Structures are given as C-alpha cells and as structure tokens.
Amino acid sequence: MNNLYRTIDFLPHGDARGQLVAVEEEKDIPFSIKRVYYMYDTTEGVRRGFHAHKHLEQVLICVHGSCKIHLDNGRETAEVVLDTPNRGLYLASNIWREMYDFSPDAVLMVLASELYDEADYIRDYDAYIKYLKTMEEI
C-alpha cells in the first residue's frame, strides 16, 4: 500500500505578501504533467471518484478548503486528509480512490500523467479486484 501513495509537502515561498507554491514536473511531481483538472462547487455530502486507473499517475492538491481521500489496494484501506494547499497526494496506478467530506469551499486540483482516457479507468470495484488478480498472475 505504501508504495501506491504518499503525501508530498511543497515548500511555500512565504513573505509579508503571502504564500506562493510552485510545483515542477519531474521534481516536486514525480512525472511529466499532461493534464490538470479541478473540482469545485461540490455538492454537500457527495462522494466521488469510485475508480482505479490502469496506468495513470496523479497528484491531488486541495488548493482551497479541505476534503478526504479513501484509498484501497484490494487488501488494505487508508484515509488521507487534504486540508492545506502546500501538500499533495501522489497516487500511483492501480489504487482505488474515493473523495469525500468536501468543505463547501473546497477546490481539489489534480495533476495527471496522461491525457483523459476513459479506457484507463476501472469503475467497478469487483472488476478492480479481478484486475488485481490478473496482474498478480503475470
């Protein structure tokens, strides 16, 4: 599980004017960034995600507000709180994720290693478990 996710603390360049965080691909982010998307105006109480990716790597940054991420590798689960703009959550491929407990002001930004490709998604949990078993057999 530990090799599938980790938090990354970014260095804020703070001074009397406020904070600035810069993230660079292959340095702060462990891949080349091909896509950025973000979620906001999230409906209260909503839970989203419910998928794993076959190849995609991502870094999630809650740039405003807070949210929680539920992770599952088929054997263990973990919950990660994202509540500061200077922390990212790296997710390798092959990990099931659900996002929940969004604060009303939450903006969850995601940096992704690939362009959007629906074929890379596993959106059914049972199919995810079966996929993991086929991976183990290879």
Sole binder of ligand TYD in the list 6, 51, 70, 87 (CB under 6 A): 51
Strand ranges for the chain from DSSP E: 5-9, 35-39, 48-53, 58-64, 67-72, 77-82, 87-91, 96-100, 107-112, 121-122
| Nearest to ligand TYD of 35, 87 (CB atom) | 35
Q: Can residue 14 be called a binding residue for ligand TYD (CB under 6 A)?
A: no
Residue 28 makes CB contacts below 8 A (sequence gap 6+) with 8, 10, 22, 88
List residues with catalytic annotation.
51
Contact residue for ligand TYD among 49, 87, 114, 132 (CB under 6 A): 49
Residue 126 has which token pair?
């049972």
Question: Does 55 participate in binding ligand TYD (rule CB under 6 A)?
Answer: no
CA angle 35, 41, 42 (to 5 degrees): 85
- State yes or no: residue 65 binds ligand TYD (CB under 6 A): no
64 lines the binding site for ligand TYD (CB under 6 A): no
Q: Please work out the total of residues on this chain that contact ligand TYD, with binding judged by CB under 6 A.
A: 6
Question: Binding to ligand TYD by residue 70, rule CB under 6 A?
Answer: no
User: Residues 106 to 125: which contact ligand TYD by CB under 6 A?
Assistant: 116
> Does 48 help bind ligand TYD (rule: CB under 6 A)?
yes
Amino acid at 65: G
Instruction: Supply the DSSP symbol for 43.
Output: P
Instruction: State the residues that interact with ligand TYD by CB under 6 A.
Output: 35, 37, 48-49, 51, 116
